[in-house]
Amino acid sequence: MTVSEAWTRPSPPGADEAAIYMVVKNDSGSQDRLLSASSPSCLVVTPHLTEIVDGVARMRESGLDELDMDPGSTLVMAPNAMHLMCLGLTGALEDGEVLEIALEFREAGTITARAVIEHR
């Protein structure tokens, strides 16, 4: 399991949540599933999905089947799509700093990533 291109935006003043983006590639030979995620910068991290249907943006928690990863498959977490939602920021996310995040997979175990905090 490889996690790359992890990033998030600096938090606007007063923000209590943030979306974290990254690319997860299952380069193992076996089926896997993202079970959970956590970060010292967030009280809770939940996989979320923004869906734009008929121009309306709706956000919901990702279904378990959406976190299943076939061997060789890639999970792209990007704006207006799937992302890891950080609920309850423990402090402001400052431009140029890094957010530590741990992803827990059923087979691959814990993979930690460093999300760059930057304006994009």
Partner 1 sequence: MTDDRESEAPQHAGLRRSLLVAGALVVAVVAAWAAVTIAAPHRFSGTVLQAPDPAPSMLGLMRDDGSALDLASFHGEVLLVYFGYLSCPDACPTTLSNVASARRRLGSTGERVRLLMISVDPERDSLAEIGEYVRSFDEGFVGATGDHAALDRVAAQYGIFFARGADLGPEYAVDHTATLMGIDTDGHLRIIWPAGIDIDRLVADLEELL
* Sites of contact with partner 1 (CB under 8 A): 9-10, 12-19, 44, 46, 48, 50, 52, 55-61, 79-80, 83, 85-88, 119-120
Q: Is 65 helix (H, G, I), strand (E, B) or coil?
A: helix
How many Å apart are CA 75 and CA 70, to the nearest integer?
10
Nearer to partner 1, 34 or 45 (CB): 45
Distance in Å from the first CA to the final CA of the chain: 26
How many Å apart are CA 12 and CA 32, to the nearest integer?
35
User: Where do the H-state alpha helices sit in 31-96?
Assistant: none
- Whole-number minimum distance, CB 11 to partner 1, in Å? 9
Nearer to partner 1, 11 or 26 (CB): 11
- Whole-number minimum distance, CB 50 to partner 1, in Å? 5
Nearer to partner 1, 87 or 100 (CB): 87
